Amino acid sequence: MPVIKDAVCSLCGSLCDDITVTVENNKITKIENACILGHSKFVGMLQHDRIETPMVRKDGELVPVSYEEAIEEAAKILANSRRTLSYGWCSTSCEAVSGAIQLAEETGSIIDSTANVCHGPSALAAQEKGSPSATLGEIKNRADVIIFWGCNPVHAHPRHMVRYSSFSKGLFTEKGRKGKKMIVVDVRKTDTAKLADTYVEIEQGSDLLLVTALRSIVNGHADVIPETIAGVPKAEVLELAETLKNAKFVCIFFGMGVTQSRSKYKNGDAMSSLISDLNQYTKAVMIGMRGHYNVTGFGQVATWETGFPMAIDFARGYPYYNPGETGANDLLVREEPDAAIIAAADAGAHFPQKAVRHLARIPVIQIDPYANPTTEIADVVIPSAVVGIEAEGTAYRMDAISLRMKKLIDTKFKTDEEIVKDLTAKVRELKRGA
């Protein structure tokens, strides 16, 4: 009975790489070290909602076909399209992402990732102000003040605090939780906030005000702060600034409560400036709590291949990037795409109504292991292997460290990488014949 050690959990951006998996008769029978979310991915999700076979919509119904027929139909859609949107690609491997970018370039498409509707604004902030960061290993070993700002790892990244941050023990943090100060800034008292030493409750959408107030205090201008800022009494803000200045190593982990609240990318921009200000006194870094396990990887691969992290338009024959114009939702709401590939994501469930309505009107190719609302509007459905379980591949953790995910069991499904390669070859063939 094979026991596979150090498997990587391909669920959240923590990419825990210490999972032990027991496999019997090509079935995963035991998981050790994974949290409840990881456990459900390794065992539960393999058992339900799988797309069992490729499908093509005929007379309004999705009917089973071979991989070859599905790829052929998908390639015809792409070859006949003048403006394809390729969206998703964050719950798959970097190798598949690289292939998807190549396909987008060949077809003059726009390719965008799920980051555009989650941590995309922090990518914009990083472009303007940089992203003073560290590895999770360094944070585990050194950080004595940890802030979770607009995120709730107890529910979204359950092992994060134990492995890397507030509860972990490291080289210079051997007392673990006892030697660390944990602060939560949020608009409501989350389960993470209940574990904190200090909980700072701010008014909805006022993150920028609090970050700016902290910057003013750190830079010696406490006198400009009103008696209450962002709904927080001045005395509390002064105390928070002192805690940060007097720390040995500060890490701010920030979530979508920061990137998607009012002021959007300016929140990350100001936070990056706060980190620079704090580095006059101590060591300080910031890290986004990335959700999809390889959303960081999409940004890495896209940036090294095109120069841009998301929302890349190849229509001009070269990469063009202008979020707000070339983002998936921007395009769909303007009703521009005449075809779409939705891969390893569920636009049908998560996009605004107007965007989904346009998707429902155009040919949609879905590449995904699981059925979801996007399946309902897809014209070609291509099932894929689950990376990290049925296929190996590379992914980037939230701190931009790359990890190799293992293949644990055999499968009848093609990998995303193979599907994209076949699709690209077929599109080339159709174009040559045209």
Nearest approach, Cβ of 98 to ligand SF4 (angstroms)? 23
Q: Please, what is the Cα angle at 307 between 306 and 309, to 5 degrees?
A: 90
Nearest approach, Cβ of 160 to ligand SF4 (angstroms)? 6
Is the CB of 211 or the CB of 289 nearer to ligand SF4? 289
Residue 159 engages ligand SF4 in binding (rule: CB under 6 A)? yes
d(CA 91, CA 10): 8
Query: Of 144-152, 156-164, 201-209, 344-352, which part binds ligand SF4 (CB under 6 A)?
Result: 156-164
- 407-427 in b/e form (b: 16+ CB < 10 A) is bbbebebbbbbbbbbbbbebb
Is the CB of 11 or the CB of 202 nearer to ligand SF4? 11
- 243-278 in b/e form (b: 16+ CB < 10 A) is bbbebebbbbbbbbbbbebebbbbbbbbbbbbbebb
Residue 388 engages ligand SF4 in binding (rule: CB under 6 A)? no
Query: Of 123-131, 151-159, 238-246, 365-373, which part binds ligand SF4 (CB under 6 A)?
Result: 151-159
Phi, psi dihedral angles at 321 (to 5 degrees): -140, 120
Is the CB of 31 or the CB of 278 nearer to ligand SF4? 31
Nearest approach, Cβ of 14 to ligand SF4 (angstroms)? 4
Nearest approach, Cβ of 21 to ligand SF4 (angstroms)? 12
Kindly state the tokens that stand for 125: 């902030």
Give the total of residues touching ligand SF4 (CB under 6 A).
14
Nearest approach, Cβ of 10 to ligand SF4 (angstroms)? 8
Kindly state the tokens that stand for 376: 């309902």
Instruction: Compute the radius of gyration of the chain from its Cα atoms.
Output: 23
Nearest approach, Cβ of 253 to ligand SF4 (angstroms)? 13
Interactions with ligand SF4, residue window 3-62 (CB under 6 A): 9, 11-12, 14-16, 34-35, 37-38
Q: Please, what is the Cα angle at 127 between 122 and 132, to 5 degrees?
A: 70
Please list, in sequence order, all residues whose beta carbon lies within 8 angstroms of the beta carbon of residue 368, skipping any fewer than 6 positions away.
51, 342, 343, 344, 345, 346, 374, 375, 381, 383, 384
Residue 124 engages ligand SF4 in binding (rule: CB under 6 A)? no
What does the binding site for ligand SF4 look like in residue numbers (CB under 6 A)?
A: 9, 11-12, 14-16, 34-35, 37-38, 157-160
